[in-house]
Structures are given as structure tokens and as C-alpha cells.
Amino acid sequence: MQVSVVPQYPLALGDDELFNADEYDPTRAYGTDRTGFAAVHERFAADGHNIHTMDVLSPTEADAVIFVDMDFDVLDRLLDLSPSRRPAFVYLMREPPSVRWYNSAAELPRFATVFDAVVTWNGRLADAHGFYEYNIPQYLEINKGDLPSFDDRTLLTNVSSRKYSKHPDELYSERERIARFYDEYHSEKFTLHGRYWNDPPRKEDIYHHMKLRPHTYRTYGGVVDDKIAVYGHHRFALAFENMTGIEGYLTEKLFDCLRARTVPVYWGANDVERYVPREAFVDYRKFGTPERLHAFLDSMDAEMHRAYLEAASAFLKSGTDPVGPSQYAETLYTATKEAQESEWSAPSASLREEIRARGLLKRLESRPKSLSKMECVAGLLGAVRKYPAMVRERPSAVLESLKCVL
């Protein structure tokens, strides 16, 4: 079996870069997932199958194609193939709906009709629609370096990029709410790191979110190369997922804190205690406001803090590994094998037309030179006429199409 993987982020391409897990580096594309992808590569190879990223093995030459979140351009082109040439389609849901709208409980089942198999961390979706369920793989090696004493640690840090979302359950704004509280009232007890915090607003932030003059932080310490080292110099670290109100969505944000031997202040997956014992983290849901959280954190003594760290260490050393790469690899392998054996049915005419329009907009954004001027004009006018809201979502597609014509 020849398997081609279509990642959402182009930086994961290049000589099977996606499967390179020689070191844990969360700054790389899918850097936190690479132990899982390396295990996937090993699992397929163990049974004599080849799996490569799409730049090494073209999706049109594959027996099966794994989409890591949606690429409407590639999907549109593959749907144009004759049934005898069409590979099996596997959809791997990675990002939450606050980041990728099509991964919502309302949208994913609609697009799932195009795929032979869907693999998701959302257990409710898996149970309701017959999808495969997996746990996001994590790197669990404990940092063994020397750390400052309790008294020498700063109280709290946040290491994340400044982002925005219109999703009602997003947590970007909650991170910023806490950061602003500490910046204004307890700046000596807080540090802020990550991209975009004190930068001028990006074009997409202005267009989609009207962020013309975002707050500037005096506690901002810039981008860091090693957040594990930063965490180790703080008693606590914010570990807020991109959104809440869902099950199964646990990312490196929580586990990096545990590994770094700092206590995470967590908010995200509703079922977090299914994976990590409650004694190992501070549950922000119990407080609800920055003021109440601060009162709790600032009053904690060294003994109680040590109890949290010991609970985290015991969990990491326990051998109980619900987020290990092996289960991830086995689930994706099984889904891909069974997808090849399933009977595929073509999408409805309306869904096929929508995918075609979204594929065109993706091409206009990412590779407009692949289209003629006539295709740019006709495609954009057709999308504006039939899907005006879709076009408003992608202003860069409009800009690139105008460049193509002019």
C-alpha cells in the first residue's frame, strides 16, 4: 500500500519532514505531534507499506491519502479523478473548530461523507457518527535539569502566541484576560512570552477581528527558544487550550508543564481528568476570574506546591500512557487499511460544488500562477455570486486573483 499524507502546514513538507522526530521541538510544524507521526511511519513500514508526505508521493499516485485537517485544493483535484484511479480518503482531524471551522460538530459530519474513514480525538463525534477515535500523542519525558527553589521562582508565566477567534468557546481571550490582569496589578509576579503580543496587528487580525490597537504588555519577554526552561523558573504556567467545551482535546500545553516540573493552570478539555489526575494541575474552572486565581496561587506554600509536582511526576512515571504514540499509530493504520476496503459513494452535487469553490479559493491564495487569467476571473466571479460569505472569509484569495489578472 502506498500512502500519501497531506498536512495542513507546508513547513511539514520536504523529504518526509513530518516523520522526523529526532528531537522534541514545538516550534516546528507539527513539532508536538512528530513522535506520533514517526510511530505511524514505523507502523506502516512494519507491514511493508510505504507512507510519505505529498511532496514525496503524489496523492494522485497513492492507494490512500491521509488529510491532516482539510486541504480543499487537493481534495477537489482528487475528486476529479475517475473512480478507478481515486485513492481511499482518510481524514485526520487535528485542530479544534475554533481554529478550523470545518471540524465542528455541525460541519465535520457533512464533509465526512466525502471520506472513507474519519479519525478524530472528539469521542462524542466518533460515537455519534462511527468515526475512529484517537488520543493526541504526547512527548512525556521529564526534564531532569536543576531547577530554582520554590522561593526563587516567579509566580506565573504564559508562553503562547497572541491569537483571536470568533468561536464562542475560544480561550484566546481568556489567556489575554489573565495576562492583562497581571500586567496591570502584579507585573512583578508574571512573565509573558510568545509571538505577536506586542507586535502591530496582523492584516488578518484587523480584517477579521478589528484589532487596530491591541494592548501593549510591559511583562512581555519576547519569543523563547525553549519554553520548558522558561516553565522551570516559574511555580505555575497557564495551560489554556485553544478552546473549551469539548472532550478529548488535550495538547502539549498541559503536558509540557508537567514535564518541565511546573504546575499547570489548565482550562480546555471537559474530560481532562480522564487523562491526567486532578492532583497534578490547577483547574481554572474552579476560579473563573483572574483575581480568584491569583489569590489561590499567591497563597500556596512550598509544601502544597511540591504535592502537585509529585503527583505529576508519579503520573509521568506510572506507565499509564493514554496519550502515547503507539495507540495513535495503530488507530490511523487501522483506519487507513479499512478505508481501502470500504465502498465509497460520491458526495452530493451541492457538496461537490462547494468543495470545488473552496478548492479554487485555496489555489488563488497559495498558488495563483497555476491558473490562467480567465480561470481566475471566472472562478472568483462564480464564487462571489454563489458563495459570497465564503469569499469574505478569504480576502487574500481576492487579492491574489486581482494580482493574477493585473
| Co-location of 361 and 334 in the same domain | no
Q: Give the domain CATH number at 95.
A: 3.40.50
User: Are 126 and 270 in a shared domain?
Assistant: no
Please check whether residue 145 lies inside any domain of the structure: no
Q: pTM for the whole thing?
A: 0.91
265 and 218 share one domain: yes
Same domain assignment for residues 336 and 354: no
**Which pLDDT score is estimated for 400?**
66
Q: Mutual orientation of helices 325-341 and 34-46 as an angle, nearest 10°? A: 50
pLDDT digits (tens, 9 = 90+) for 361-400: 888 777 777 777 777 777 777 777 777 777 677 666 667 6
Both 191 and 223 in a single domain? yes
Would residue 143 count as lying in a domain? no
Same domain, 265 and 225: yes
Task: Answer yes or no: do 335 and 354 share one domain.
Answer: no
Grid cell digits, residue 81: 479523478
What pLDDT, on a 0 to 100 scale, did the predictor assign at position 320? Answer: 64
Q: Which residues form the domain of 369?
A: 348-406
Looking at the structure, do residues 165 and 288 belong to the same domain, yes or no? yes
Residue 306 shares a structural domain with residue 331: no
352 and 244, same structural domain? no
Domain CATH number, residue 232: 3.40.50.11660
pLDDT tens-digit profile of 294-317? 999 999 999 999 999 999 999 998
pLDDT tens per residue, the chain (406 residues)?
999 999 988 888 888 999 988 777 777 888 888 889 999 999 999 999 999 999 999 999 999 999 999 999 999 999 999 888 999 999 999 999 999 999 999 999 999 999 999 999 999 999 999 999 999 988 888 887 889 999 999 999 999 999 989 899 999 999 999 999 999 999 999 999 999 999 888 777 776 677 767 789 999 999 998 899 999 999 999 999 999 999 999 999 999 999 999 999 999 999 999 999 999 999 999 999 999 999 999 999 999 999 999 999 999 988 666 677 889 999 999 999 999 988 888 899 999 999 998 898 888 777 777 777 777 777 777 777 777 777 677 666 667 666 666 6
State how far the Cα of 219 lies from the Cα of 179, in Å rounded to an integer.
9
